[in-house]
Amino acid sequence: MRFNKSGYSNEELLHLYKELITPRLIEEKMLILLRQGKISKWFSGIGQEAVSVGAVQALNQDEYILPMHRNLGVFTGRNVPFSRLFAQFQGKLSGFTKGRDRSFHFGSREHHIVGMISHLGPQMALADGIALANRLKEDKKATLVFTGDGASSEGDFHEALNVAAVWDLPVIFVIENNGYGLSTPSHEQFKFDSFLSKGPAYGIEAVQVDGNNILEVHKTVSHWAKEIRKNPRPVIVEALTFRMRGHEEASGTKYVPKALMEHWAKKDPVENYEQYLLKGKILTQKLIDNYKAEIKAEIDKGLDTAYAESLPEFKEETELSDMFFPYETRAKAPESKTKTEKRFVDAISDGLKQSLERFENLVVMGQDIAEYGGVFKITEGFIDTFGKDRIRNTPLCESAIIGTGLGLSINGYKSVVEMQFADFVTCGFNQIVNNLAKIHYRWGQQADVVVRMPTGAGVGAGPFHSQSNEAWFFHTPGLKIVYPSNPYDAKGLLNAAIEDPNPYMYFEHKALYRSLSQEIPDDYYTLEVGKAQVALEGNDLSIVTYGMGVHWAKSLAEELPHISVEVVDLRTLSPWDKETVSESVKKTNKVLVLHEDTLIGGVGAEIAAWISEHLFQWLDAPVMRLASLDTPVPFTKTLEENFLPQKRLKSKVTELYDY
């Protein structure tokens, strides 16, 4: 292995050596602790240390870096205290996740580190968002994100690279090519010989380095960090390396040919660099002994501190309250009493525009939302006022754009991400349920992202443009869900969602866009999230519903004047207003839960179960439910009309009334 020390002082060379041996010494200790049962799992980076150390030492301390399993050198290179690092590995409270996650699945804003989740690939889009924020702030900073050769098979890899290329984002994508995805060799992952071929395909530069040569990694990353700070654009750095232990310790290495292990053992990054410095008389054995003794003493001290700490005490209130960034949603009244008749679609547009005026750090992203104004024209004309930096057309990549929104949040921005249709959110599902929803609970990072969801049937759009999929997210802790039924609520709840620094799913029914109008305040206002509204007073029975169900219920009430129907509009599904529902049930003693979504596993099932459990003594009839058929949404009008519950509502209400 050849090292080129040109441009480095002896002090710098020794500093890199000390940084290189630190993760190796920690790992050696961790492997002992694993065998002793004092930690539960370990992902070894032995053999790959030069990539992590070279990369982190090439960046400025205030530049974000996004590591993976085998990048211990990133954490030590950012001077994360050993005591906190070891507490994290042991699931202690003083770690970064309060015992809620393990190993390197955490981030630290203080150290400008954003850790991974187990699903390989999503961290790359977060790097895009962090870099986009730097561009918008005109901060001349680089962002560096790690991925592996195996993870490159994920769609997130393509989406993140493509977005970074299209938007000229200053991101260094470091691909640690160690030849295996767990036990699967590279030739079973992809057909190409080198990731250098990926650069031209995306229209970006790509370079390859010997990932076991600390100086080559450091020089290369330093060069590209300086380049993209001056001239923002992404770059691929392929680091050829090898892990000398299993994917994790339980995996072993039996699947690796012995000759290959022997070949890479000769390329050990620590041993080779050490021998180079010794031969050049830059390093001495005495200095090696001193360095190692010093580091081992720090390791032992950190371990003693971590061991002395007991495991976290379970407190239900703490666990639940940590799901969200602390924020109290309060209604803000409009400054004047001026009102204008607005359609549902205009109310949403009005709220979005006023939120953009109110929050200069708000970015709106989605397909065709700029010049075209979106398929429903909600953002029409916005680029004339706010410019293309803040009203951003995106490639067709829902996962990357939701991840980019989270990256923006990490770096101080708000974002609204439009799904062209709610159905298309499936392509970004992982980012929502595993990143947005869990990130605050895991390590205290807010996810200031609103995902707009044009939803619902009744418009003849068929199975892939008509789904009501709110129940998918209702089951996921860490998400707030709003579903307005009228223009007044649509504007006030959208503004409230954007104000709140927590993740929101905002559902807007397409059939209401241009069919429903209402006088609403011209000024900016918000409504209280989590507060239902009695849309129609009644005494005989309650219909608890939301969205289009509110209009079906009110229409039926007019059709059946002999039945006094009370209609409760939930407005917010998570959290939902148990108090208002309870008051209505206690008043009427009969309740029907109605929604457009299919029946099985719908939101109504949870509400009905809660009423049965908590209000049984007030009921004069079984809690009833009505929803759409348990089929996909059909296209033809006659089929769609009978799929929806509206035609069955009269008989169900009559049945409940007569019980």
Summarize the confidence of residues 572-598 as an average pLDDT. Answer: 98
What do you get for the CA distance between the two ends of the chain, in Å?
Answer: 85
pLDDT category at 190 given cuts 50, 70, 90 is: confident
User: Which residues fall within 8 angstroms of residue 277, CB to CB, at 6 or more apart?
Assistant: 13, 14, 17, 283
pLDDT at 567: 98
- DSSP for 453-501 reads EEE-SSSS--TTS----HHHHHTSTT-EEE--SSHHHHHHHHHHHHHSS
Residues 58 and 279: their CA atoms lie apart, in Å, by 25
Taking alpha carbons only, the member of 23, 102, 67 closest to residue 443 is 102
- Please write the tens of the pLDDT for every residue from 521-538: 999 999 999 999 999 999
CA 249, 254, 260, 261 torsion-angle sign = positive
What's at 612, amino acid-wise?
S
- Please write the tens of the pLDDT for every residue from 138-151: 999 999 999 999 88
Other CB atoms closer than 10 Å to residue 535's CB: what's the count?
Answer: 21
Other CB atoms closer than 10 Å to residue 475's CB: what's the count?
Answer: 12
Which H helix or E strand runs over 285? helix 285-308
Q: Which residue has the tokens 């870099």?
A: 131
Burial (CB count <10 Å: 0-12, 13-18, 19+), residue 168: middle
Burial (CB count <10 Å: 0-12, 13-18, 19+), residue 40: exposed
Residues 239 and 395: their CA atoms lie apart, in Å, by 28
Give the CA-trace dihedral at 649, 653, 654, 656, to 10 degrees. 140
| DSSP-derived 3-state class of residue 544 | strand
- Show the tokens assigned to 464: 């892939």
Residues 241 and 176: their CA atoms lie apart, in Å, by 7
pTM, rounded to two decimals? 0.96
pLDDT at 185: 84
Residues 436 and 423: their CA atoms lie apart, in Å, by 18
pLDDT at 252: 77
pLDDT category at 607 given cuts 50, 70, 90 is: very high
Q: For residue 575, say if its preceding peptide bond is cis, omega within 30 degrees of 0.
A: yes
Other CB atoms closer than 10 Å to residue 187's CB: what's the count?
Answer: 9
Residue 250 has pLDDT above 80, yes or no: no
Residue 40 has pLDDT above 80, yes or no: no
Beta strand 565-569 with 533-536 is: antiparallel
Residues 275 and 635: their CA atoms lie apart, in Å, by 71
Residue 249 has pLDDT above 80, yes or no: no
Flag the least confident range among 75-89, 239-253, 308-322: 239-253
Flag the least confident range among 139-148, 182-191, 347-356, 569-578: 182-191
Taking alpha carbons only, the member of 465, 460, 455 closest to residue 490 is 455
Distance from chain centroid for Cα 301: 35
| DSSP-derived 3-state class of residue 364 | strand
pLDDT at 255: 82
Reading phi first (left if > 0) and then psi (alpha if -120 to 50, else beta), residue 99 is in left
- Please write the tens of the pLDDT for every residue from 608-646: 999 999 999 999 999 999 999 999 999 999 999 999 999
Summarize the confidence of residues 261-285 as an average pLDDT. Answer: 94
pLDDT above 90 covers what percent of the chain?
88
- Angle in degrees, 0-180, between the axes of helices 123-137 and 398-410, rounded to the nearest 10: 50
Summarize the confidence of residues 60-83 as an average pLDDT. Answer: 96
The answer to whether 13 touches 43, Cβ cutoff 8 Å, is: no
Taking alpha carbons only, the member of 139, 160, 140, 138 closest to residue 151 is 160
What size, in residues, is the chain? 659
| DSSP-derived 3-state class of residue 346 | helix
Residues 440 and 445: their CA atoms lie apart, in Å, by 5
- Please write the tens of the pLDDT for every residue from 118-129: 898 999 999 999
- Please write the tens of the pLDDT for every residue from 464-515: 999 999 999 999 999 999 999 999 999 999 999 999 999 999 999 999 999 9
pLDDT at 1: 86
Round the CA-based radius of gyration of the chain to a whole number and report it: 28
- Please write the tens of the pLDDT for every residue from 312-322: 999 999 999 99
Summarize the confidence of residues 183-203 as an average pLDDT. Answer: 90
The answer to whether 153 touches 189, Cβ cutoff 8 Å, is: yes
- Angle in degrees, 0-180, between the axes of helices 123-137 and 155-166, rounded to the nearest 10: 10
Residues with a catalytic annotation lie at 465
pLDDT at 503: 98
pLDDT category at 247 given cuts 50, 70, 90 is: confident
Residue 65 has pLDDT above 90, yes or no: yes
Angle at alpha carbon of residue 525, lines to 523 and 526, rounded to 5° = 165
Which H helix or E strand runs over 490? helix 487-499
| DSSP-derived 3-state class of residue 266 | coil
Q: What does the mean pLDDT of the chain come to?
A: 95
